[in-house]
Structure formats: structure tokens, C-alpha cells
Chain A
Amino acid sequence: MARNRYVRKLKELRQNVVDMGVLTRRSVEDVLTALETSDTALAERVIANDDEIDKFDRKIESQCMTLLALEQPMAKDLRVIATSLKMITDLERIGDFVVDIAEEVVAMGKPIRIPVSATKFDELVADVKSMVADSIETYAGGDIQKARSFEARDDRIDFLYKNIVENMVNALAQGKCSTETVSDVASLLYIIRYLERIADHAVNIGNRVCYMEEGDRRYLK
């Protein structure tokens, strides 16, 4: 195998993106645990942790630019670098939404009280968690078929999101909320909006991984 140093640098790049992805996935899981258990200390740790994700973002961008400037990457190598360069922005944005959720948890400081059934909310949380995990796994070499199902899974998330919003608005309109729960409802509306956006970024990652593996630019639409 020729170009040993280059091959090693590409490998390092991919490992860094995977490490950033794992860190981001853990943040998503932690913030949702913090939300569920009203663990403000955990939420604070998640907020502090975002610096690490941002550091990865800058480091990986620099690695990509060095490879592009010095190695004239082609074919799959080029697609790996282009995908990594775009994907870290998705991960970084997911990290920012996690911080937004964590700040809501800290601000509430107590278990969330909502006037509707929690089933759909629990389903939304579970779906978003698994999509983030799957998007990173496909980049790391997992089953690309999973990435192909992302659009359909995102449709389900969008449906849940709209459904919950509708229920909340109805509850507010029908005066089912006490003075105390109104602010919880407002927080929850923000939180599910952030979750829905996180899923959109996971879809982006899935599409980019499909492009990386197969080279078809239709995935970049």
C-alpha cells in the first residue's frame, strides 16, 4: 500500500469524527436523562461538555483543510473528507441544541408537569436518541441501510412533534393548565422543537454517509 502517511491521516480524521460523534451522542442521552430525572447537576455537566464538542469541530475542520490542501484527495477519500467537513457542523449544531435543552432543565429545576399524556413525548425522545446513535454508527462503518430509513423515521418524528404541539395548544386553549404548568408547557414546546431539529441534523448525517459510501450526489439534495 502506497501513501502510508496519507492513509494514516485519513484514518485519524475518521476516528476523530467518530469520537466527536460518540461525545455528541452521549450528550444527547445525558440531557434527556437529566430532563427525565430533573437532574440539574447532570444538565450543568452537559453544558460544560459542549466545549469539547466545539474543540473537535475546529480540530477536524483544520485536519480536513490540511488534507485537501496537501494531498489532492480523490474518489472515496475526497467523499470521506467532504462528508466529515459537513458532518461536524451537524454534530456541532446538535451539541448546541443539547445545551438549549440543558438550560431549560436547569431553569425548571424540578420535574416537568404537562397536561397531556406522556406517551407521545416518550416516543419522540426514544426516536431522536436512536436516530442520533444510528447516524454516527453508519459513519463509523455500520449498516448503510439504516441511513436509508432516516427520512421515513424523520417523518414519524415530525408527526409526533406536530401532534404534541397541537395537544399542548389545545390544553392551553381549553384552560386545562394551572398557572404553574403554563411555564412548563412553554419549556416543553421549546424542548420538542430542539429535539425535532436534532433529528433533522441526524437525517443530514445519514444522507451524507450514503453519499460518502456510494458517491451519488442525489443524497446531497
Chain B
Amino acid sequence: MNNAIEISVKDLDLWFGKFQALKKISIDIPKNKVTALIGPSGCGKSTFIKTLDRMNDLVDNVKITGEVVYQGRNILDSDTDVVELRKQIGMVFQKPNPFPKSIFDNVAYGPRVHGVRKKANLNEVVERSLKAAALWEEVKDRLNESALRLSGGQQQRLCIARLLAVEPEVLLMDEPASALDPIATSKIEDLIYELKKDYTIVIVTHNMQQAARVSSNTAFFYLGELVEFASTIDLFERPRDKRTEDYVTGKFG
């Protein structure tokens, strides 16, 4: 069994102005596994996942202390190359956000930014990425069509293909299926299951059944604290903390 750690977070505190959104978070994200983050709205799970690729840098008045160690370095250090970091740790958002370009150009965008110019190389990476995102068969005959003409579920898989094209190590997913119908959702979940063989995945979800279905480990956040982090089966079958028990059984508040 592979017990390697991909990202190690230690004593992470985060403030938005005077409001402390994350309190002393310490967690080891295992490599090549799916880690689900659950908790009620405002518990800090989305803020936490954004910290893993420095997306909170974009927010005014934010203060972060602690460590997020990835590949032996604290990515919170000011000399971190954020562009390079986000190539290795990519993010998929709640609403699919394809560029208003063709399907091909969406996937080729990242490699082009990173200097891939040859058409043959781009063709290869687009095909490989779309196949890995389980979208190739549906779009291979219309790669030059606008990505905006795809369905919501297809757009989300396109966004995943766009991430995979730059060969990341870690995929962060913030509610990736919450805007999708059950069939599109199950395709995304199947895809997550396939992708974990090659990538480390962290997924934020409001849908507890989804966390139960797709993840190996689950973290429960509440009021900015990491209340409990355990194997998914333990967290849903026999949580240790009363707050986790109340949340997963739906008896909160």
C-alpha cells in the first residue's frame, strides 16, 4: 500500500481582516488518493482548498501563517513561483468555466502558454487529455466547435482535460459536480475514480454521499477547524467526534 504524503499542512491559520477563517489546520494529504473535504457552508473548506494553490493571494486583506509543504517546500513562502505551482496543482471550480474558444484551443491553451508550438505535439496532448478526461469519444469530430456549445457536464470534463494538458500532480476540485445533473455527476465521479491512479485529488463537496462514494479519506471542517480526518468508511460509519456524528447524520443545529 502506498502511504506517501503529497501535501503536508501544519498549523495553518488564515484571517480575512479580523475574521479567522482557518484555525490551526494540520493535515497530511495522501498521494494518489481522493481526499474529500466536507462541512457546512462557511466552515472554511473552500478557503482551505484555495490555500493549496495560493488562490487566496487574490483576496484583499488576507493573512496566512503556518506551512503548506509540497515537494519539500513551504508553498506559502513569498519566493514561490505561483504560475509553476498552479501548473502542478490545478483547480476545477463549481461552475464549468471554459474559455470562449474552440474545444481544441481550450485544451491546448496551457501547453501553448508553457511553450509547446508544434501542431503535432499539440494534437497529441489534446487527444491524450480529452481521453483521460473521458470526453474524447464525444467531441473528437468537432474539436473546432466552440466549447460553450457543450453541455454542462461536458464543459466540466473539458475543464478537467484543460488541467490535465499541463501535466499536474494534484487536482483540486471545488464542488465540481454541484451544478450538474445526476448522469453528468456520475460521469465526473467515475472520472475521479480513474484519475486517482495518476493524480492526487482533493475535492470539496456539499454532497456527503458523493464524498462517501469517491474518496478514500474525508476531512470534516466546522467553524474554521478541522474537526476530524479519517478514512471515509470510518468517518461515515463511526465518527469519533460528536460534531461529525451530528453533521453526517443530518442533525446539525
Contact = CB atoms under 8 A, between A and B. Distances in A.
A215 B249 CA distance: 14
A133 to B, nearest CB: 28
B110 interface: no
A1 B251 contact: yes
Contact of A74 (B236, B252, B253): B236
B209 A75 contact: no
Interface string B163-196: 0000000000000000000000000000000000
Interface stretch (B72-80, B136-144, B150-158, B237-245): B237-245
A22 interface: no
Contacts of A140: none
Contacts of A73: 249
Of the four ranges (under 10, 10 to 19, 20 to 34, 35 or more), the interface on chain B belongs to: 10 to 19
A4 to B, nearest CB: 10
A77 B249 CA distance: 7
Contact of B238 (A1, A2, A6, A215): A215
Interface of A: 1-3, 6-7, 72-79, 214-216
A8 to B, nearest CB: 12
A1 B252 CA distance: 7
A76 B238 CA distance: 7
Which 7 residue pairs are nearest across A and B when measured between Cβ atoms?
Answer: A215-B238, A74-B248, A3-B250, A77-B249, A75-B245, A74-B236, A75-B248
Given A73-B249, A75-B239, A75-B249, 4 more contacts: A1-B251, A74-B208, A74-B250, A75-B248
A76 to B, nearest CB: 6
B249 A79 contact: no
Nearest to A211: B238
A170 B245 CA distance: 57
